[in-house]
């Protein structure tokens, strides 16, 4: 039997750069994710399913909320990453955390879940599905009556620097024209929730501004180091302009008046209206 969720995430091997990007992104939104989880009204003893659990960072955060009598199941379809996640969570053994592949050999445990959490991240670990409806329809039968489906989505748009760097602003405008960003799938969830008998409870967009040395600054340093060579290869910048941009960027890193505006994120929560049969 094929894994019904395999369309979401093919097996992959992470490069050190991809791994660092995922770690920085998790740190960037750690506080906001904790607040997001607080809004899910998790009770001791609850069951939680985390689909596309990435490196498993959210599993202990949710396990703290359901206590020893609860269960948090992380689904990681890549067997190599699933093995890594299990290793990373050794210190949390006995705290109600399980990691499964979600296929026929290592299936999602039977039963309904009070909360199902899905993260669509701007990294290689938790990619966005082609259609939100496909995912919602597959997860909906696993949700208990009155349970909540929570979706977190972030992407690399909206970030900027203050005071602005003209060369950076021009290049980003050209970049966005040549490679338009994908639309936020979270924007479509109100309709998809209604289709699957889920009531939209909340949708909160997020962005923050932080000073040099902050996690937002570190994330943007890594982001620029990654996209700069791509801009040169795409002829959006000349090699000389790239060198000049790096020098100007370094100057802003030591300027206490600099503000880094983070990429955008949104947290969406829906509540099941009743039982559902797909």
* 234 inside domain: no
* 60 inside domain: yes
* β-strand partners of 270: 149, 200
Which stretches of 89-188 are DSSP H helices? 132-139, 166-178
* Residue 170: both structure tokens together: 């021009």
* 10 inside domain: yes
Which pTM was predicted? 0.88
> Number of structural domains, the chain?
1
8 A C-beta contact, residue 157 and residue 181: yes
- Measured distance CA(126)–CA(273) in Å, rounded: 27
Predicted pLDDT of residue 31: 95
- Measured distance CA(56)–CA(78) in Å, rounded: 13
Predicted pLDDT of residue 124: 65
* 195 inside domain: yes
* 239 inside domain: no
* 142 inside domain: yes
For residue 186, what are the domain limits? 6-157+182-207+264-272
Predicted pLDDT of residue 275: 55
Predicted pLDDT of residue 30: 95
Q: What are phi and psi of 173, to 5 degrees?
A: -65, -40
What is the domain-level CATH number for residue 15? Answer: 3.40.50.150
* 164 inside domain: no
* 225 inside domain: no
DSSP 5: T
For 96-148, the pLDDT digits (tens) are 999 999 998 999 999 999 999 999 887 667 777 778 888 899 999 999 999 99
Q: Which of the residues in the chain have pLDDT under 70?
A: 1-13, 123-124, 275-278
Predicted pLDDT of residue 3: 43
- Measured distance CA(207)–CA(162) in Å, rounded: 14
Predicted pLDDT of residue 145: 92
Three-state SS at 73 = strand
- Measured distance CA(214)–CA(220) in Å, rounded: 10
């Amino acid at each position: 039997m094929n894994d019904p969720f395999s369309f979401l995430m093919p097996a992959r091997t992470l490069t050190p750069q991809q791994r660092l990007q995922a770690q920085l992104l998790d740190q960037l939104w750690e506080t906001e994710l904790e607040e997001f989880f607080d809004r899910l009204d998790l009770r001791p003893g609850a069951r939680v399913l985390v689909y596309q659990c990435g490196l498993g960072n959210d599993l202990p955060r949710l396990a703290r909320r359901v206590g020893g009598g609860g269960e948090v199941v992380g689904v990681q379809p890549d067997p190599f990453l699933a093995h890594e996640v299990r290793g990373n969570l050794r210190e949390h053994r006995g705290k109600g955390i399980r990691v499964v592949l979600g296929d026929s050999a290592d299936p999602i445990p039977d039963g309904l879940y009070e909360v199902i959490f899905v993260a669509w991240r701007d990294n290689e670990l938790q990619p966005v599905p082609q259609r939100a409806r496909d995912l919602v329809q597959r997860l909906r039968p696993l949700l208990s009556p009155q349970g909540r489906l929570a979706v977190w989505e972030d992407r690399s748009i909206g970030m900027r620097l203050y005071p602005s760097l003209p060369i950076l602003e021009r290049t980003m405008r050209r970049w966005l024209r040549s490679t338009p960003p994908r639309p936020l799938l979270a924007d479509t969830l109100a309709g998809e929730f209604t289709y699957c008998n889920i009531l939209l409870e909340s949708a909160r967009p997020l962005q923050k501004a932080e000073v040099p040395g902050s996690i937002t600054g570190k994330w943007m340093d890594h982001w620029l180091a990654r996209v700069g060579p791509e801009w040169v290869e795409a002829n959006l910048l000349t090699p000389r302009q790239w060198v000049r941009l790096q020098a100007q960027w370094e100057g802003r890193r030591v300027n206490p008046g600099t503000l880094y505006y983070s990429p955008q994120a949104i947290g969406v929560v829906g509540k099941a209206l009743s039982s559902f049969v797909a």
